[in-house]
Structure 1
Amino acid sequence: MSTGGFDFGPRPHPRRMSLTPMIDVVFLLLIFFMLSSRFGMDAVLPIAGGAEGAGSEWQGAPRLIDIAPDTVSLNGVATDIDALAVELAPLMPSADAAVILRPRDGADLQRLVDVMDQLRGDGLQNMILVE
């Protein structure tokens, strides 16, 4: 067959596809799923909402703990977190009486959990979380 005087020569072999982009995508997906996976157990925080105490009558002195980013106050008086249970003891009518926790502006969740852990470690189990 005549090509009009042009000789194109031997037909070149098709170029092999590079696997590098596909490997990059696989590694990116692997990293994404590793970072977005959740390992370990989730912690469960047994707390009562603010509406739970609405059906019962409050007994005893007020027990309001304000949790700020750098301070903890019991009924408006700044208190050391380690001495919180000692300060609460005279205000508690019974061992299972409720304590109200109120996070203030700027207090993060970890700060709230630290205060709850401290109270739970001191034997206080009935906590009500309010806004």
Structure 2
Amino acid sequence: MRKARRRRRLSMTSLIDVIFLLLLFFMLSSTFTRFAEVDLDAAGSGAQVAADTRPLFLQLSPDRLSLNGADTALEDLPATLAERIAGAEAETATPLIIALRGEVTAQRLTDVLVALRGITGLRATVLGAG
């Protein structure tokens, strides 16, 4: 008569080692990208806005960008704004109102804010979509 073979228990140690090695492999082979940072200043202290300064109005939609009613390309926006605020006084900031129209993505708004970042003498306010 044959002896009944005993089943050996499966060792968890080797399974844990394999999982640890896979985890280590994926952690080391992953690339972690750093996204661009955009400083968003809360309302409060900042450059003064003179009472007689007329604000600029920027309408931002998913496929269109217009400054005071004139269509503008995103690449041309910094130069156009720099021309408009060139005559403003140094100690006062020119207000820029950014109105979101339609389904504007966060990436589109970030692209505009990054383009505005290098312009001095400008105080931007973003209005919600409506």
**How many equivalent pairs are there?**
115
The unaligned stretches of length 5 or more in structure 1 are 1-6
2:97 aligned counterpart, secondary structure? strand
CA distance in 2, matches of 1:44, 1:104: 24
CA distance in 2, matches of 1:17, 1:45: 53
Q: What percentage of aligned pairs have identical amino acids? A: 31
Paired letter, 2:98: L
TM-score by length of 1: 0.59
Paired letter, 1:130: L
- The yes-or-no answer on 1:90 pairing with 2:84 is yes
CA 1:58 to 1:104, structure 2 compared with 1: closer, same or farther past 3 Å?
farther
The more displaced of 61-70 and 89-98 is 89-98
Paired letter, 2:68: N
- State the Cα distance separating 1:114 from its structure 2 match: 1.3
CA distance in 2, matches of 1:62, 1:106: 24
- In structure 1, the residue matched to 2:115 is 118
Please say which structure displays the higher CA radius of gyration.
1
CA 1:100 to 1:82, structure 2 compared with 1: closer, same or farther past 3 Å?
same
1:12 aligned counterpart, secondary structure? coil
* Native 8 Å contact 2:88 2:94 kept in 1: yes
CA distance in 1, matches of 2:69, 2:39: 25
CA 1:98 to 1:48, structure 2 compared with 1: closer, same or farther past 3 Å?
farther
Task: Spell out, residue by residue over 1:5-62, the C-alpha distance to the aligned partner (whole angstroms, 9 max, x if none).
Answer: xx7x41312144287xx57x938x839x85xx9935454322345x559xx7654122
- How do 1:1-131 residues align onto structure 2 when only pairs under 5 Å count? 9-17=2-10, 22=15, 26=19, 30=23, 39-41=32-34, 43-49=36-42, 52=44, 58-88=51-81, 89-90=83-84, 93-94=88-89, 96-123=93-120, 126-131=123-128
* Native 8 Å contact 1:48 1:129 kept in 2: no
